[in-house]
Structure formats: structure tokens, C-alpha cells
């Protein structure tokens, strides 16, 4: 008996909703947009993931956790593939994911972010996740992880991370 066929693509996505980003435990790899595709090739389940950036140290952990989640669901015949092209973009992050980030105290990526702008030090106005003020400034290009930069609100004075990877 092949247990793999019991799961629809939607059920696999639901299953992967339980796999959280190792650095941000409130957002799932599905809401982050890291899980790109779930499909069957014959009887084999293929899960394709794209790292948030090519050197992302969390990807190994994510791949392992996806493997564990599938195995725990009784799925044996599967493969987790990594795809680097097209590159991950913050546009793949779901609205639910952005909301979860904000509630966690991390400013979510801006919808209309000029992807090159922060490379040249021209940060768009980032909204403080604590009080909503846009009167904020970057205090450190690198926050607690390479995917985040550290900012401080000039109104409520709270420091916060901005999720900047794209």
C-alpha cells in the first residue's frame, strides 16, 4: 500500500503550515513563501523550496523540518528539492505571514519595496510595528540574523527588526 496517495496537495500545504521558520517561530514556511510547489511525479511527492536568500543558514533546518513533518505524516516516498531560480521575493510572503511578523514585533517587508534601494542605503520609510509611526531609522544594517536589519522608532523609541530579505 502506498500511503502517499492519501494526501492531496492542499493537505500537504496544510501539513507544512506546521513547519515554522526557525528564526521567526510565528511564521510558517508556507506563509513565508519558501514552499514553492507541491506535486506528485508518479507516486513520488515533490516539495520544492526556495531559500529567502541563497546563503540563508536556516534553509538546512527548514529542509530537515519539512522532511520530519512528512515522515511523521506517514509519507515515505518524497523528495525535498531546492530551487534557486526564480529567486525568492518578499512578494511571495502571504498577507497572513506579514501580519504574524508585525504582531511578533518585526516590521514586515513593504509591498512596493524597491528591491535595490536598501543596497544603496536608501531605506524607504519603515513602519514601527509597535506604534505604527513611520518616523524610524536604521541603527544597524544587520539585525539578529542576516535577513533582518535593526531599526529604532523615533516616536516610541522601541527598537525593532525589519525583515529585509528579498
> Interface with Zn ion includes 150 (CB under 5 A)?
no
Question: 86 preceded by cis ω (within 30°)?
Answer: yes
Residues 6+ apart with CB under 8 A from 28: 16, 17, 18, 19, 20, 21, 97
Nearer to Zn ion, 75 or 110 (CB): 110
> Interface with Zn ion includes 156 (CB under 5 A)?
yes
Cα angle at 59 between 114 and 25, to 5 degrees?
80
> Interface with Zn ion includes 145 (CB under 5 A)?
no
Nearer to Zn ion, 141 or 154 (CB): 154
Nearer to Zn ion, 102 or 166 (CB): 102
Sign of CA pseudo-dihedral 49, 62, 23, 58:
negative
**Least distance to Zn ion, CB of residue 101, Å:** 15
Using the contact rule CB under 5 A, the part of the chain among 8-16, 24-32, 78-86, 127-135 near Zn ion is 127-135
The residues binding Zn ion (CB under 5 A) are 128, 130-131, 133, 153, 155-156
Amino acid at each position: 500500500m502506498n500511503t502517499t496517495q492519501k494526501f492531496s496537495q492542499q493537505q500537504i500545504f496544510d501539513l507544512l503550515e506546521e513547519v515554522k521558520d526557525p528564526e521567526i517561530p510565528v511564521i510558517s514556511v508556507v506563509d513565508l513563501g519558501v514552499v514553492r510547489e507541491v506535486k506528485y511525479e508518479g507516486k513520488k511527492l515533490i516539495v520544492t523550496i526556495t531559500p529567502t536568500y541563497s546563503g540563508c543558514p536556516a534553509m538546512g533546518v527548514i529542509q530537515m523540518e519539512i522532511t520530519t513533518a512528512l515522515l511523521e505524516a506517514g509519507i515515505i516516498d518524497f523528495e525535498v528539492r531546492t530551487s534557486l531560480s526564480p529567486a525568492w521575493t518578499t512578494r511571495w510572503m502571504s498577507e497572513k505571514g506579514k501580519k504574524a511578523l508585525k504582531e511578533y514585533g518585526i516590521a514586515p517587508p513593504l509591498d512596493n519595496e524597491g528591491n535595490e534601494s536598501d543596497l544603496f542605503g536608501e531605506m524607504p520609510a519603515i513602519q514601527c510595528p509597535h506604534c505604527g509611526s513611520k518616523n524610524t531609522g536604521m541603527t544597524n544594517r544587520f539585525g539578529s540574523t542576516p535577513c533582518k536589519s535593526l531599526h529604532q522608532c523615533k516616536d516610541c523609541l522601541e527598537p525593532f527588526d525589519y525583515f529585509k530579505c528579498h
